Each structure stands twice: as C-alpha cells, then as structure tokens.
Amino acid sequence: MARVAEHAAALDVERIRADFPILRREVHGRPLVYLNSAATTQKPRQVIQALVEFYEQHNANAHRGVDTLGEEATALFEGARAKLAAFVGAPDPACIVFNRGTTESINLVAHAYGRKVLKEGDEVLLTQMEHHSNMIPWLLLAQATGATVRHLPIREDGTLELDALGSFLTHRTKIFSVTGMSNVLGTIPPLRRLADAAHAAGAVLVVDGAQLVPHLPVDVVDLDVDFLTVSGHKMLGPTASGGLYGRRELLEQMDPFMGGGEMIREVYWDRATWADVPWKFEAGTMNIAQEVGLAAAIDYLGALGMENVRAHEERITAYAMERLLDAGARIFGPTDPSVRSGAISFWFKDIHPHDLATVLDQEGVAIRAGHHCAQPLMRVLGVPATARASFYIYNTPDEVDALIDALRVAERLFRTA
C-alpha cells in the first residue's frame, strides 16, 4: 500500500488536468466529470498540437514521393511506428501494423491468419467476457471455414474459469483470442499463463489490448503473446489510430488483408507480389496524422510512467468501489482493485442504467450505460445492461464524490414516484 501511495503521489493529477482543454468545459451548467475513458479518453493539448502541427507543417502522403514534405511525413509516420513498438516491448518496428485499432486488427488476424490455418473441425477459443469486436470476426471466420468458436466460462467473481482451460484448449484449438482487460468486468486475465497454455496446445494467443495497453505496462516478449491489438483513442491518441503487434514470422507467413496501393512489390495484369511486413498490411493512404498524434500520446504516457498510471488507477478504483458499495450499488467483476481495472460496471437501486446515465449527465457526470458491446456477457450476468464508470490519469477522488452525489439525485427522483 505504501508503494501505491508513493506512486500515486508521483502522478500530479492537477497538472495533468491542466493539459486537457475539454476538462475545463461545463455540461448543463456543471463542471464536466468525465468517467467514460473506457469508451474513449480525452486528449491532452500535446496530442491536439501534434495533429495541428502535422497538418500545418508536414502534411503529405507517406511513402509516396521524394519531396521534402513527403520525406517528413514518412519519417513522422515511421517514427510513430517505432514509438508504439517500444511502448509494447516489440523487438522490431516491423512487427507493428498500423490501422484504425482493435476492431480492424482482429479482423486482420481473422482474415489473414485465420483463413490460412483454419480447417473444418478446428476451433477458435474465446472467453465469455469478450467485446463484440473479439467475437464477430471469429464468427465470420467460422462461417467461412467450418471451424467452431468456443467460449471459456467466467466464474461468479468475474474471473476466468481457469480450471476448465484444459478441456477448452485442445489440439483442435488453433487460435485463442482473449481480452487483456475486460471492458465490462475490469478483469485482467493471467496472459503469460494463457500464452503458455495456448502454445502447449499448438495454438496462437491473440490479445485484445484495447483496454489493457492504455492502463498497464505491457511487454509482448515477457507475455509471449503472438498478436496484440492497440486502440490509440483509448490511450490519449486520436480516433482511428493504433494497430496490431504480430510476431514477425507469423506476419510474414500471412496473406494480405486488404489489397490496394502501397502494399505491393510488383504488379502485373494477372498477378502481384507483396511488400514486406508491415506494409503488406497497409493498403491505401494510411491514417498518417492519427498515428503521429498517437506518438505524442505515447510520449505523454511515457513521461508519466505506466507504473504510475496503474498505481493512480488502482488507488482511485479502490476509492470508487468503496463509495459505490457504501451507496448500495452492486458491482460486477472482481472486487480486489489490485487484480482489476478502473472500469467499474454496476447496478444501482434498480434504476435502469439509461435512466441513471441521463440523470448523471444532467449533473455533469458522463458515464456509459448499455450492454458495452458484450450482449452474451450481459446474459451471463443476468442484466439487460449496466452502468459503467471508468477512470484514467486525469480523474480525482472529488470526481468519485460527484458521481456518488449524482447517484443520490437519481435515487431521490425515482423513489418519489
């Protein structure tokens, strides 16, 4: 606990907040209390400035021309790739494919790897706590190949039923794809253990890193994962930034995903050869400015230190869970803050999450309400939807208090009926 307190002090939240222009605005006459970072994070001026500077000073298509602007844009774009590679511990920038983020990355793996290796009777293993973006691409793949999709169950406490892993992960399993951090339950699975189990069964491990990468230090070599997705907009970067880490030898074996300009080596009327990785997977004009903005976001997080980011979130999550439970909320997922994220799904006084979110919005408090793109998980939990408050580097204990005060307003409103 002393270690956590020391780290938390290392994160100067007031100074961080000053970097986020949007946190100065009001909503319905109240200061904005933004508790929806699991959906998308706000952007510091350093990231916004990187976008402005790119468009004002360096805008050109990357990898196309020999002019000065073209060289500058290419250098910034490839520099961003090296930064993202270093951020996730990738041994080589060529292991990073840029694209719009996790959804596109999983679709890429399902098409370019899945269609190549899966045969009828093979299996793709998922878990019961996956986001639709880590379900639907595999369903489509199963339909196309005759493979089967299975789901490792979760326990009552929202952790994975690891005792059942042996019966779900078999010689038929070719791909095991799991979230690194549940967007609903906050659960953080033991990825290294899952990677070892997958490899022992002859499968590859795909990690949906949409929630994981923004919140914890990640090293793909230590974790021994084969693929890891990154959503830049959930880690201070622009929307449609991020991409895919892939083990180099796997990326090299894979077929292209989309065809078009820049992903080729030679083109003839009747055939073509492909560019080297990662460009084989980057058809057409890319999200250059967005990835340059993501590089600024990585610099920002790097300066804070991901251990400090995690320590701050653990502390604020512990406080939020304590206050929510005191207020009578039912929390889904693990209750120990040291094994979960700061995305807290809850049910409060039988007030429907959408009613709750509307009342909270009137109080200036932004949360998410709904099924969180996890309809099958909602059925497991036995609720149609949940409310979710999620925290990041700029959130304060005062904002947790504002959340609780706003919940009281909702309680009063719905009690008087």
Region near another protein per CB under 8 A, out of 40-48, 78-86, 331-339, 378-386:
378-386
Contact flag: residue 31 with another protein (CB under 8 A): no
Among 355, 401, 405, 411, binds another protein (CB under 8 A): 355
Nearer to another protein (CB atom), residue 319 or residue 414: 414
How many Å apart are CA 185 and CA 44, to the nearest integer?
Answer: 27
Q: Which range of residues in 217-225, 279-287, 290-298, 362-370 is near another protein by CB under 8 A?
A: 362-370
CB of 28 to another protein, least distance (A): 7
Is residue 200 within the footprint of another protein (CB under 8 A)?
Answer: no
167 near another protein (CB under 8 A): no
Closest CA to 407 of 371, 353, 340: 353
| Number of CB atoms found within 10 A of residue 115's CB | 14
Structural contact between residues 205 and 174, judged by C-beta atoms closer than 8 angstroms: no
Q: Which of 4, 94, 275, 373 is catalytic?
A: 373
Q: Is 370 in the site for another protein (CB under 8 A)?
A: yes
Cβ of residue 167: shortest distance to another protein, in angstroms?
30
Binding test (CB under 8 A) with another protein, winner from 353, 391, 392, 393 = 353
406 binds another protein (CB under 8 A): no
Q: Which of 106, 316, 385, 407: binder of another protein (CB under 8 A)?
A: 385
Q: Of the ranges 172-180, 204-212, 321-329, 354-362, which one interacts with another protein (CB under 8 A)? A: 354-362
Angstrom distance (rounded) from CA 316 to CA 392? 9
Out of 51, 150, 262, 414, name the contact with another protein by CB under 8 A.
414
358 binds another protein, rule: CB under 8 A: yes
* Torsion sign across C-alpha atoms 343, 349, 350, 351: negative
Whether 316 contacts 341, CB under 8 Å: no
User: Do residues 38 and 388 touch, judged by C-beta distance below 8 A?
Assistant: yes
Window contacting another protein (CB under 8 A); options: 86-94, 189-197, 233-241, 408-416: 408-416
Does 375 bind another protein (CB under 8 A)? Our answer is: yes
Q: Pick the piece of the chain touching another protein (CB under 8 A) from 137-145, 157-165, 307-315, 358-366.
A: 358-366
Q: Based on the shown chain and the rule CB under 8 A, indicate whether residue 416 belongs to the binding site for another protein.
A: yes
Interface with another protein includes 273 (CB under 8 A)?
no
- Residues 6 or more apart whose CB falls under 8 angstroms from that of 138 comprise 106, 110, 114, 124, 126, 149, 175, 177
Q: How far is the CB of 94 from another protein (least distance, A)?
A: 39
Instruction: Please pick, from the candidates 32, 359, 393, 403, the single residue that binds another protein as defined by CB under 8 A.
Output: 359
Distance CA 203, CA 63 (A): 35
Nearer to another protein, 287 or 345 (CB): 345
Is there a catalytic annotation at residue 373? yes
Q: Are the CB atoms for 162 and 168 separated by under 8 Å?
A: no
Nearer to another protein, 99 or 128 (CB): 128
Q: In angstroms, what is the minimal distance from the CB of 387 to another protein?
A: 11
Nearest distance in Å: CB 321, another protein:
24
- Cβ–Cβ < 8 Å for 232, 241: yes
Q: How many residues form the binding site for another protein (CB under 8 A)? A: 20
User: Any idea which residues carry the catalytic annotation?
Assistant: 373
Contact residues for another protein, defined by CB under 8 A: 28, 352-355, 358-359, 362, 369-371, 375, 378, 384-385, 409, 413-414, 416-417
